[in-house]
Amino acid sequence: MKSSGIGGQAVLEGVMMKNKKHYAVAVRKPDGEIAVEKGECNSIIEKHKFLGWPIIRGVVNFVESLVLGVKMLTSSAAYFDDVEEQPGKFELWLQKKFGEKADKFIMGGTVFLSVVMAVAIFMLLPLAVVSFIDEDVLSYEWKTLIEGLLRVAIFLGYVGLISQLKDIKRVFMYHGAEHKTINCIEKGMAPTVHNVRKCSRLHKRCGTSFLLFVMLISVIFFIVVRVETLWLRFVVRILFVPVIAGISYEFIRLAGSSESKVVAFLSKPGLWLQGLTTKEPDDDMIRVAVASVEAVFDWQAYLDENFSKKNKKKNGKAKKSADKAKSFDNYAPVKENESAITSEVTVEPADMEVNSVETYETTPMKRVEETKVQKPVIQEEQEEIASKFDWSFPSTKKEEPDEATARESRSRLVEKVSAADRAETAGKAAPSAIRYTEEEEEDDEILRALDKFFVFEGEGTVMERSGDKEH
């Protein structure tokens, strides 16, 4: 999978997508309309290049993502406020004190409190619990290992509990839509609802995986960095959180662009956890995610740049199949045996624009004129079929040099089917002369497969090809 560099997150009834410094949040409003807001967020790394160094950039990106995420959650929630609330005394004091910067101050304060609570619950609380265990009972290494396992258990319990909340379940469904849309593009497919639906809702660059790796790496880190004094252990836990976060970021970044089996194996725990934090979205949620990504990312240019050779190869095979299918249009009925019964067939092809609908009489050893019908060029229907089968269709019908050969091959197949049916009706075994060769069996399988998806022009196409009179 080729990394696109797109990141994102789920918000209330919507999805936020970010590509470099551009971001967009798409929200499904109560009236069903999709609202899309776009903006730019310039990273501090652009001003201070040293902040882009490995490990350090992980901390910076984590904080900036957290700030942007809180901002987008607040923005999405505004669409569902029935009554505009009056600001409280504290908010009025902030607006008076900081003026236009009050919102930034509130945002920064929210992020700061979130980080403090996360460190306290997931880093310091497990250490406080295991500190009551005497080292005469368990060694430092075992105590640190139990501390780490307790940290992971608290994190998993927290995710499991919030995943049961109704509103959080919908957020997790939008989280799944975000992942599926990015996976769709990174697999070289256009982000249509049909294509997105087929893709996985798990992604190796997910923030859920990042947080789990913070927990797991901390176990190894604090076993290696040994501190005997208890109060110093608390200090070390706090001071080394940025370092652990930076290391975790580098691994997630590598996992998102690497096809290594080792990296894929190490990514498994994070993908398993995403089974809790992502849910299968409905089609409306997928449309919201697609609207968000299209607002910030030129996916067509990305596909042309990274998948053009692969698509050309696919399209080449698809074109051969499409040309073979097209060569069966407007075919002439084949010769019938003298024992054939005279019948009338009225040709009225479905979903076609008919220039003339004619009735044909089939008589022994006699050919009749071809049906004159014309397929309409309906771009929307062609695109729908092309998206399902990855086929391309010519805008106009062109005469193929091998059309006559294909028609003769088709006639030969139909004649053999008819002869075999007559032999079976008479209770006789089919003579070897009318049995299929391997090549003819392969051709017939292709014809039968095409019958499932196409209505061909001409008399009794499906009936004659399949040998089924009930069609």
Q: Containing H/E element for 361? A: strand 359-362
Among positive and negative, which fits the CA dihedral 139, 142, 147, 153?
Answer: negative
Q: Give the amino acid at 454.
A: F
- Strand residues in 218-358 grouped as ranges (E): 343-346
36 - beta bridge partners? 26
Confidence (pLDDT) at 329:
44
C-alpha span between 201 and 327 (Å, rounded): 41
What residues contact 138, with CB distance under 8 A and at least 6 apart?
Answer: 146
What are the angstrom distances between the C-alpha of 138 and each of 145, 151, 228?
A: 11, 18, 14
Q: Give the amino acid at 10.
A: A
According to DSSP, residue 436 is labeled P
C-alpha span between 122 and 215 (Å, rounded): 8
Confidence (pLDDT) at 75:
86
CA nearest 15: which of 233, 148, 201, 220?
Answer: 201
What are the angstrom distances between the C-alpha of 27 and each of 281, 298, 361?
A: 14, 20, 61
C-alpha span between 465 and 449 (Å, rounded): 11
Q: Strands 14-19 and 34-40: what pairing? A: unpaired
Tokens of 21: 């410094």
C-alpha span between 264 and 284 (Å, rounded): 31
According to DSSP, residue 259 is labeled -
Opening angle at CA 343, ends 337 and 346, nearest 5 = 130
3-state secondary structure of 113: helix
Q: Which long-range contacts does 296-301 make (Cβ < 8 Å, 24+ apart)?
A: 296/6, 296/17, 296/18, 296/19, 296/22, 296/23, 296/24, 296/38, 297/4, 297/6, 297/17, 297/19, 297/185, 299/4, 299/185, 299/190, 299/191, 300/190
359 - beta bridge partners? 346
pTM of the model: 0.63
Are 120 and 158 contacting, i.e. CB atoms less than 8 angstroms apart?
no
Q: Containing H/E element for 323? A: helix 299-326
Q: Strands 14-19 and 7-11: what pairing? A: antiparallel
What are the angstrom distances between the C-alpha of 417 and each of 260, 367, 368, 396, 400?
A: 52, 18, 20, 32, 26
According to DSSP, residue 374 is labeled B
Are 130 and 147 contacting, i.e. CB atoms less than 8 angstroms apart?
yes
Are 192 and 287 contacting, i.e. CB atoms less than 8 angstroms apart?
no
pLDDT tens, the chain, 471 aa long: 567 889 899 999 999 999 988 999 999 999 999 999 999 988 888 888 899 899 999 999 988 888 888 889 888 888 887 545 566 666 677 677 767 677 777 777 888 888 899 999 999 999 999 998 887 788 888 999 999 999 999 999 999 999 889 889 999 999 999 999 999 999 999 999 999 999 999 998 898 999 999 989 998 989 888 888 889 999 999 999 999 999 999 999 888 778 888 888 989 999 999 999 999 999 999 999 999 999 999 999 999 998 876 655 554 554 455 455 444 444 434 443 433 333 333 333 334 333 333 333 333 433 333 333 444 445 555 565 555 554 544 444 444 445 566 666 667 767 777 777 677 667 666 565 555 566 666 666 666 666 555 544 444 444 433 444 444
Q: Strands 7-11 and 22-28: what pairing? A: unpaired
C-alpha span between 66 and 327 (Å, rounded): 58
CA nearest 299: which of 383, 197, 187?
Answer: 187
